[in-house]
Structure 1
């Protein structure tokens, strides 16, 4: 984080930001269908805070109105006075905001904005009943030298078909990993249909479109680490004792190691010491480790240990696709 801001809004960024993590998406039951609005809306409905008027309200309107729409969980974390004080402090000196992402996923609409300098970011998640379910207010620090230092290896995305980037990008607004040097350029990827990552109630791993999908070697190399015995979690319950879960680490030379994490228990198809070619099957996607739902965690690091090595910006063989938060893209062809 940059210097010069009060500790109070730093706390706001930390505690409210947790509501926007992958762990908060995909496991709650769907909201009740909303009735069609009449042609003539009530004054209360006209005053509703939405993604379209959120920033104008935060800058020039009533912060009380925003606070009233926060979920009970957020209101338990921060009082109205604390919210007003921290928001005013953060907004000071900011002239304008630009919306950078907006997408709907699992009954939430998420929008994010950057200020005119690109050094401040705000992210808000709205439920179908207009309740503000998540709020992140945070400075945006960049690391230009490593942002531009791409891998020497050209990688292919390690899965087939269409996928959705839940976390990915070069700031903490689009990629919470970015705050940590060891995972700065990591990706969290899910599969979606009709703006949802699951079908049914989302209570079983098999409900998730990503669960069980085959994983492939992203480039030629030698397998240097394998874990295959970590149980898959019940959706919504994470295993912090083994954060990466089942994993395959491949040494591609040039000090570059791909790390494919959260693999399905017992599905790893390679052994330590194996030489693999790009496109070889290495396992199936699961929900093991510090994972709330079936998703791929993929990164390239300058060493084999995800917790001590530095993450490296990936050079993709297909550079036409944007693997940044909120975007869908095509992986390997079927």
Structure 2
């Protein structure tokens, strides 16, 4: 199917955050009158998007696309692809909201069969700056199998789920069997994961925070001697995990914890650790776009040949991209 898979971005910083143009109104009575008559009544809010799209009101969707986006996609293209994509769908369910800089926000919806997904980025004026619709792969045979051991989160305090869930729109790891149920966590404050210069690791709230053992186990693999990526945004694709710790918990369950700060790891191979023990500090080593925690559980200690297992956390609620967790 020739589904629309277009994600138009006006400006991207090295951190990967999207910034849309902020077109400020020129002062004047005419502008104010237009807003009174039309703006509040006709502007579609992000939360309304999925219903408007499903009901085929593509003119309304198109009218809120940025001019630059409209230059790339015609109304007829949007109609044709939207009608095809909506076939068989009864509802779209909002799954995730992800903040960007300048008050822009990304929204993700999936249909009730988890087979189709949509992602849209709205700026602070509710202009659509990005849109992607796509079929979703799913793996029900492993989605319902959880680890035998109950795990804790590998950190203290409140963190934000940047990637996590069981489809590729909210968790890019999901397409890869060896990391399918991985999570990436950052610290978010007022819609941003950093303050100050975004090219410096020290500007990120997560950098240097304690990285903890998510469960009792034995340290079986350690890497501690890779430099943190500088400037932020430059990634080491040759060493995807960067500095890492792999723990054997028994039952063929191994924690893979990646992107530690350079020479911050406090444990060595053969050490026995308890849940909550300090392993090292959060860094930005390896194939990492900014300081964060990467955590998944797999059936072996081999990063490339193992199969990821969905994590049974020691709490009742599930969490996905866009959630804050403690």
Q: TM-score range by the shorter chain?
A: 0.7 to 0.9
Alpha-carbon offset, residue 284 of structure 1: 0.6
- Distance in 2 (CA, whole Å) between partners of 1:198 and 1:298 is 21
2:258 to 257, 261, 264: 261
Structure 1 contact 31–128 (Cα < 8 Å) conserved: no
Structure 1 contact 28–202 (Cα < 8 Å) conserved: no
1:289 to 286, 290, 300: 286
1:58 to 53, 59, 73: 53
- Distance in 2 (CA, whole Å) between partners of 1:134 and 1:296 is 27
Q: Compared with structure 1, are the counterparts of its residues 186 and 130 closer, same or farther at alpha carbon in structure 2 (3 Å cutoff)?
A: same
The 3-state SS of whatever aligns with 1:226 is strand
Question: Which residue is equivalent to 2:87?
Answer: 92
2:189 to 179, 186, 193: 193
The 3-state SS of whatever aligns with 2:46 is coil
Structure 1 unaligned runs (5+)? 1-5
1:312 to 309, 314, 321: 309
Q: Compared with structure 1, are the counterparts of its residues 61 and 147 closer, same or farther at alpha carbon in structure 2 (3 Å cutoff)?
A: same
Q: After superposing the two structures, state which structure 1 stretch, 216-225 or 142-151, moved more.
A: 142-151
Question: Which residue is equivalent to 2:114?
Answer: 118
Question: Which residue is equivalent to 2:295?
Answer: 298
Q: After superposing the two structures, state which structure 1 stretch, 174-183 or 154-163, moved more.
A: 174-183
Q: After superposing the two structures, state which structure 1 stretch, 141-150 or 251-260, moved more.
A: 141-150
- Distance in 1 (CA, whole Å) between partners of 2:183 and 2:206 is 15
Structure 2 contact 246–255 (Cα < 8 Å) conserved: yes
Q: TM-score, normalised by structure 2?
A: 0.83
Q: Are 2:180 and 1:169 equivalent residues in the alignment?
A: no
1:132 to 121, 128, 133: 128
Q: Are 2:142 and 1:146 equivalent residues in the alignment?
A: yes
Structure 1 contact 147–170 (Cα < 8 Å) conserved: yes
- Distance in 1 (CA, whole Å) between partners of 2:223 and 2:20 is 34
- Distance in 2 (CA, whole Å) between partners of 1:306 and 1:225 is 10
Equivalenced residues, count: 316
Alpha-carbon offset, residue 154 of structure 1: 1.8
Alpha-carbon offset, residue 38 of structure 1: 5.8
Larger Rg: 2
Structure 1 contact 57–63 (Cα < 8 Å) conserved: no
Structure 1 contact 67–80 (Cα < 8 Å) conserved: no
Structure 1 contact 26–293 (Cα < 8 Å) conserved: no
Question: Which residue is equivalent to 1:273?
Answer: 270
Structure 1 contact 226–272 (Cα < 8 Å) conserved: yes
Alpha-carbon offset, residue 205 of structure 1: 1.3
- Distance in 1 (CA, whole Å) between partners of 2:179 and 2:66 is 31
Question: Which residue is equivalent to 2:154?
Answer: 158
1:223 to 219, 222, 225: 219
The 3-state SS of whatever aligns with 1:53 is helix
The 3-state SS of whatever aligns with 2:160 is strand
Q: After superposing the two structures, state which structure 1 stretch, 57-66 or 269-278, moved more.
A: 57-66
- Distance in 2 (CA, whole Å) between partners of 1:267 and 1:228 is 7
Structure 2 unaligned runs (5+)? none
Alpha-carbon offset, residue 179 of structure 1: 1.9
- Distance in 1 (CA, whole Å) between partners of 2:82 and 2:62 is 11
